[in-house]
Amino acid sequence: MTRRIAFINEKGGVGKTTLAVNVAAFLAGKKGRRVLLVDLDTQGHAGKALGLDVRTVSPNVFHLLTDEAVGVGEVVRPTAVQGLDVIPSWKEMADFPTEAAADPDRALRLRRALSALDGRYDVLVLDAPPSLGLTTTNVLLAAEEVVIPVATTYLALDGCAEMSDTVTRVAADYRHPALRVTQVVPTLYRKTQLADEVVATLERYFPRRVSEPMTLNVAIDEAQSHGKTIWEYAPWSRGATILQKVAEAIDRAGR
Ligand SMILES: Nc1ncnc2c1ncn2[C@@H]1O[C@H](COP(=O)(O)OP(=O)(O)O)[C@@H](O)[C@H]1O
Ligand SMILES: [Mg+2]
């Protein structure tokens, strides 16, 4: 069975893409799984972080979702990581909600497009945009396991509760009971009393589902600026050690 893991949070800059890319690369490169990473964000950062020139790669995920003539085989690209493929995204994705507006099944387009891959991958990793519109609903309906990265700031707690409610609501509204939050990842973590209080509160809301905090580490940011995963760029860094622990927690949580 193919695992389907989505990284969602309506806030931007909380670590969705960083986690999606590095967890996907960990499961492929270190665990020997066949992994497909699907970017759904207009910024195209997931493809970019894997070294693709996303501005020129076409067709991409937008064409897959809006043009029946484009098959999934045409949008899947190989990466430098053994076992990891990616479907890139770019600015056109901003037009997806309007393009799909008249279709009563518009929320199911991603799930249907990916179903044509059946059996080709062990894991699908979905990187959501920072909003709660049609694209994120498509992501949730194409996924079963949901990971919520949460910045370790006080106000981020509200957002996390909201994201969890959204998952519950989409699961009920669309009769998709397999959909569930499997892991919450505290991100952008620096050890302060407030950050530790935020982590403790998350542990009360989500018992046994909170991973180790993702500490701020410059190698994580640098790796992305070089179009590489942390495992290629700085495998011995503190960032790699932390990301490995988080990736293992996400992997265990969904089984
Ligand atoms: N643990 C970390 N240490 C250092 N930089 C990080 C860390 N996590 C994320 N970043 C940086 O923060 C920025 C936002 O992260 P990103 O994963 O793109 O967030 P999102 O996808 O939620 O918008 C990126 O530049 C990323 O490199
Ligand atoms: Mg992102």
In CATH, what number is assigned to the domain containing residue 159? 3.40.50.300
| Domains of the chain: total | 1
Tell the residue nearest (CA) to atom 1 of ligand 1: 216
Q: What angle do CA 101, 90, 179 make, to 5 degrees?
A: 60
pTM > 0.85: yes
Question: What is the DSSP pairing of strand 84-87 with strand 123-127?
Answer: unpaired
What is the extent of the structural domain holding 231?
Answer: 3-253
Amino acid 2: pLDDT: 95
d(CA 147, CA 164): 10
Distances (CA, A) of 114 to 73, 76, 84, 143, 183: 10, 11, 16, 10, 23
Which residues are near ligand 1 (CB < 6 Å)?
Answer: 12-18, 45, 130, 187-188, 214, 216-217, 220-221, 224
Q: Write the pLDDT tens digit of every residue in 142-198.
A: 999 999 999 999 889 889 999 999 999 999 999 999 999 999 999 999 999 999 999
Rounded to 5 degrees, φ, ψ at 66 are: -120, -10
3-state DSSP assignment of residue 151: strand
Amino acid 1: pLDDT: 87
Q: Write the pLDDT tens digit of every residue in 87-97.
A: 999 999 999 99
Q: What is the mean pLDDT of each run of 10 residues along the chain (255 residues)?
A: 96 97 98 98 97 95 97 97 98 97 98 94 98 96 98 91 96 98 98 96 96 97 95 96 98 93
